[in-house]
Amino acid sequence: MKHVNKIANLDVTVHAPPSKAHTLRALVIASLAEGQSIIHNPLLGEDQLNLIESLKKLGVKIDQNGSTLTVSGTGGTYSPVDDELDIGESGVAMNFLTSVCCLSEKPVIITGAKRITERPSSSALKAAGYSERVATSRPLSPSF
């Protein structure tokens, strides 16, 4: 059996290569945190840029300086400045926003490209205790 010592210092820095999935997760986690989070070397593709804009519409302050993003977390409460979040074609962003929008102070609509709005989301919404409202122009986009 191998013995592993306890970590003495919890103030650590982790360097990882840019990743689509890790960047999306880091943005959501940072938006939920209290205080500022710094994301170094994020991958900024279309999905990440759409999520950044959606989080900004939820009242999250996100600044970019070169290859660094600074996210001012909400402490778990979103104060939307816009009621429609466009996630483009990102199913991961839709899944994350479906959850975090439950923490919004006002109703919001999650929408995106035609194909993403055709995905059923009722099972995720029912699991979260919400019912899906149907919008005529985008039939399966969740609205909270």
DSSP letters, 20-32, are HHHHHHHHHHHHH
Q: Which residue has the higher pLDDT, 112 or 51?
A: 51
Q: Is 20 exposed, middle or buried (0-12, 13-18, 19+ CB in 10 A)?
A: middle
| Alpha-carbon span 71 to 37, nearest angstrom | 5
pLDDT at 56 over 60: yes
| Assigned token pair, 76 | 């778990």
Q: Which pLDDT belongs to residue 136? A: 36
CATH fold for domain 20-127: UDP-n-acetylglucosamine1-carboxyvinyl-transferase; Chain (3.65.10)
pLDDT at 126 over 90: no
pLDDT digits (tens, 9 = 90+) for 69-113: 999 999 999 999 999 999 999 988 988 998 898 899 998 888 888
pLDDT digits (tens, 9 = 90+) for 2-22: 888 887 777 777 776 788 999
The pair phi, psi for residue 25, each rounded to 5°, is: -65, -40
Q: Which pLDDT belongs to residue 137? A: 40
From 2-16, 26-40, 42-56, 66-80, the region with the lowest mean pLDDT: 2-16
